[in-house]
Structure 1
Amino acid sequence: MKQMTFLDLCSGIGGFRLGLETAGHKCIGYCEYDKFARASYEAMYDTEGEWKAHDVTKLKPEDVPYADIWCFGFPCQDISVAGKQRGLVGKRSGIYYNIIDLLKGKEESAKPSYLLVENVKNLLSINAGFDFASVLSEMDEAGYDCRWQVLNSKNFGVPQNRERVFIIANLRSRGRREILPLTGENAAALNQLIGGMQGYRVYGTDGISATLVGNAGGVGAKTGLYFIDQSNHDPKITDTARCLTARYTAGMTNHTAMNSAVLEVHPVLTPERMEKRQNGRRMKEDGEPMFTLTSQDRHGVYVCEKVDSVKVKKCYKGRI
């Protein structure tokens, strides 16, 4: 396989770089606006002597060196269903046009042979699909033909359900090798290596991450379903229900081990921001994949007490 050079634009902490270097290609430079992402990038990769820039919107075509590939995951804040849906007219996601303008300003011989682009799946449908049509039209004007595909990380050995649209564009005058579509193996099924109560179980690295569920005691993990010994003087959470008695689930008693209530714990996204727009439901049910961890969301749990099989006597919410 021929080694190709690439530029990592809107690089973040280097996801594209990791993949392309693993495939045997060479990075010659990167551009990233966020100073913390740049610090992480430079800590993880040897960037000494490479071209680098901080703000892609300030670059001119002649500022950018030649590379066989330009890869970029342009900002998704204005495209994501979790945002305000401004689309490509938004200030952040509109950076796409800045990158395309750099391409249009270059001579044919100075343009990269390939573009590798990534964004959220909603790019295909935002503004009734007109924004994606604009993406393709702009690439066409810059001299590129495109293929695209929605890929899910869970099908490629990553224990996470994460759909993204990938676009691979080739310059018409060269670089016509077909790359998409790709297929992967569905790794959704969890492989339990060691059984037992939740908190003691061990799973293999393949499959979607185990989520918080409501059907087992959690021991040290403190997730799942718990029984509460409803004693006035010595209440405590137990792993198993108390024996049935004539006064079972009748409330608080003076006698230890006479009564039990039930606590259910459910994972919830940003419990303190009930009006926040987001992708899908706020609360996860038993057996569902966990929410994607992000740097800004506050993942938490709702803890609800059941008595006489009727919800809800008490509810609590908290962060994790």
Structure 2
Amino acid sequence: MKVLDLFAGVGGFRLGMEMAGHQTVGWVEIDRFARESYEAIHKPKGEWTHDDIATVDHNDLPTADIWTFGFPCQDISVAGSRSGFKGSRSSLFFSVTKLLREIKKEDSSQLPSYLIIENVKNFLAVNGGWDFLATQIELDEIGYNLEWQVLNSRDHRVAQNRERIFIIGHLRGRDTRKVLPIGSNNKQTALKQVGVLTGQKFKQSARVYSPKGISPTLCAKGDAPKILVETSQGERSVTIHNLERLKKLAKSGYRLRRLTPLECWRAQGFPDWAFHRARDAGISDTQLYRQAGNTVTVPVVYEIAKRIPI
């Protein structure tokens, strides 16, 4: 099926959909660094594209069977403002439904058969659940029946504990196939927290993890988790209040390091070649960390995509 990739980021949705045999026909992304990575990775020459969902003209959109979008979560996540649809970022959801309403009014046969929507787990609870109810009402009025499930990346062959809600919209009257629920196919042990960095000499407090197990959720701000690498002794718990304590720990056979940008992309299920294409295009480590935290987990998208007939 033909896919329109909205809020595309670096193309996590695209990779997962294309792994299942679907074809991308257009994409929208406003962040210039994410656009550079997207173009380097997917080489979408000749495809329709736009940089701002809020200014897209529905007449310009390519016809697609599936629209995918993980609209901004900054106003929804526990770590964000939690203002929900009252915020300026997460309310961009309605920029998408505005396009759907305009298409329906002009020619409903051009509506996509499927919508695949992703956001943080807290979308179910923000503003007392009223925003999630508003989503259901909005899409129902346009003509979509919905199913949804919280899926954890750790259950789908990647080393990251990342819970996200996926909503599948089915256009009424079309011969669409039920997609959810999706079961776990690779449950792993969560990464064990073994310490904490605190004190004024550190830029910020940070949890420290054992290298055994899986990563905690990658952050959209680009803060990579810190791991305690053992070099000569067994695992131990540590609390590091100052640089002197850290130096003593290092002398005893341990060192601290952040996950690398490549490791973060791997934790989202991206193949190494995709990461290297982005880096070779001149994308900085700061942006590579941010892009890893902002994208969707590719194998989770694939699990959804392969349940939609081509």
Letter in 2 for 1:34: D
Match of 1:72 in 2: 69
The count of aligned residue pairs is: 231
CA offsets per residue over residues 203-253 of structure 1, 9 Å max, x none?
Answer: xxxxx5x5563xxxxxxxxxxxxxxxxxxxxxxxxxxxxxxxxxxxxxxxx
Distance in 2 between residues matched to 1:300 and 1:114, nearest whole Å: 35
Note the 1:131-146 alignment, pairs <5 A: 131-146=131-146
1:91 maps onto 2:88 in alignment: yes
Distance in 2 between residues matched to 1:300 and 1:116, nearest whole Å: 29
Offset, 1:299: 5.1
Flag the structure with larger Rg.
1
* Larger RCO, structures 1/2 (Cα 8 Å, 6+ apart): 2
Match of 2:273 in 1: none
Distance in 1 between residues matched to 2:225 and 2:17, nearest whole Å: 36
* Secondary structure of the structure 2 residue equivalent to 1:165: strand
Percent identity for Structure 1 against Structure 2: 43
Match of 1:278 in 2: none
Q: Structure 2: 5+ residue runs without aligned partners?
A: 229-237, 247-256, 259-310
Letter in 2 for 1:166: F
CA RMSD across the alignment? 2.8
CA offsets per residue over residues 281-313 of structure 1, 9 Å max, x none?
Answer: x6467788543333535457699xxxxxxx98x
Letter in 2 for 1:165: I
Name the stretch that deviates more: 97-106 or 286-295.
286-295
Q: Is the 8 A contact 2:64 2:112 kept in 1?
A: yes
* Secondary structure of the structure 1 residue equivalent to 2:196: strand
Q: Is the 8 A contact 1:114 1:171 kept in 2?
A: yes
Offset, 1:168: 0.5
Letter in 1 for 2:63: Y
Letter in 1 for 2:221: Q
Among candidates 196, 213, 223, match of residue 266 of structure 1:
196
Distance in 2 between residues matched to 1:137 and 1:62, nearest whole Å: 25
Offset, 1:131: 0.3
* Secondary structure of the structure 2 residue equivalent to 1:159: coil
Letter in 1 for 2:160: Q
Match of 1:293 in 2: 218
Offset, 1:127: 0.5
TM-score by length of 2: 0.67
CA offsets per residue over residues 139-180 of structure 1, 9 Å max, x none?
Answer: 011110000000000101011100000001010020431111
Among candidates 47, 51, 55, match of residue 50 of structure 1:
47
Match of 2:235 in 1: none
Runs ≥4 in structure 1, deviation > 2 angstroms? 210-213, 265-268, 270-274, 282-303, 317-320
Offset, 1:80: 0.6
Q: Is the 8 A contact 1:114 1:175 kept in 2?
A: no
Q: Structure 1: 5+ residue runs without aligned partners?
A: 190-207, 214-264, 275-281, 304-310
